[in-house]
Chains A and B, each alone.
Chain A
Amino acid sequence: DVKVTQSSRYLVKRTGEKVFLECVQDMDHENMFWYRQDPGLGLRLIYFSYDVKMKEKGDIPEGYSVSREKKERFSLILESASTNQTSMYLCASSSLADTGELFFGEGSRLTVL
């Protein structure tokens, strides 16, 4: 079974802190994604990566950066957390060679005070 693991289920941070959200997948997937989910706004794509060191901006990249140094790991970075980044963050992965089926991690609920 595909497993996508997010490092923290719940985080509480203060405004201005640097925040790292880590995501690891064990199925050798080329594609990895970071989404945020907010009530009434659905799932919105922050960043997408299709290969090591490659990334594309999604719909809402402002205030975020990403890192993909290894194929299995995709990190989301909030350089200076703000209260409007309080949200549920969801990591996902999919294979280029296969059907492209998307698999999600458990989610990380971030609260910025």
Chain B
Amino acid sequence: GIQVEQSPPDLILQEGANSTLRCNFSDSVNNLQWFHQNPWGQLINLFYIPSGTKQNGRLSATTVATERYSLLYISSSQTTDSGVYFCAVHSSASKIIFGSGTRLSIRP
């Protein structure tokens, strides 16, 4: 099956810093999503991005489907950005594979 790898596994930054999170996948996929899991456990949708680039405020994401990776950029980090970031790739409607996540800690 498809393998999904996220890097780095952990990232500690000072408030105001920028960061890049990476998601590699081993085969062609239909869709790709980025989520932020907040401290209470809820998975919040950040981007639905099977290809191309999208931006939402301080966050942006780029997926290069032909090279099988996606990047999530966070600029001017805030403490509220802390949490775990997951990418998930869809190979079918029911087959959705999650990466193991990047734990981001933003220090004030």
Contacts and interface: CB of A to CB of B under 8 A. Distances in A.
Interface of B: 30-31, 33, 35, 40-45, 48, 86, 88, 90, 93-94, 96, 98-101
B42 A48 contact: no
B98 A101 contact: no
Greatest chain A CB density within 10 A among B30, B43, B98, B99 is at B43
B93 A104 contact: no
Interface of chain B, main secondary structure:
strand
A103 B41 contact: no
Contacts of A48: 94
Interface in A88-113: 88, 90, 92, 94, 96, 99-107, 109
B41 A109 contact: yes
Nearest to B98: A43
A79 interface: no
Interface of A: 31, 33, 37, 42-43, 45, 48, 50, 56, 88, 90, 92, 94, 96, 99-107, 109
A101 B90 CA distance: 9
Given A90-B43, A106-B40, A106-B42, A100 B90 contact: yes
A102 B94 contact: no
Contact of A104 (B30, B31, B35, B90): B35
A105 B93 CA distance: 18
A99 B41 contact: no
Contacts of A37: 41
B9 to A, nearest CB: 11
Given A99-B31, A102-B33, A104-B35, A42 B42 contact: no
B42 A107 contact: yes
A41 to B, nearest CB: 9
Contact of B88 (A88, A102, A105): A102
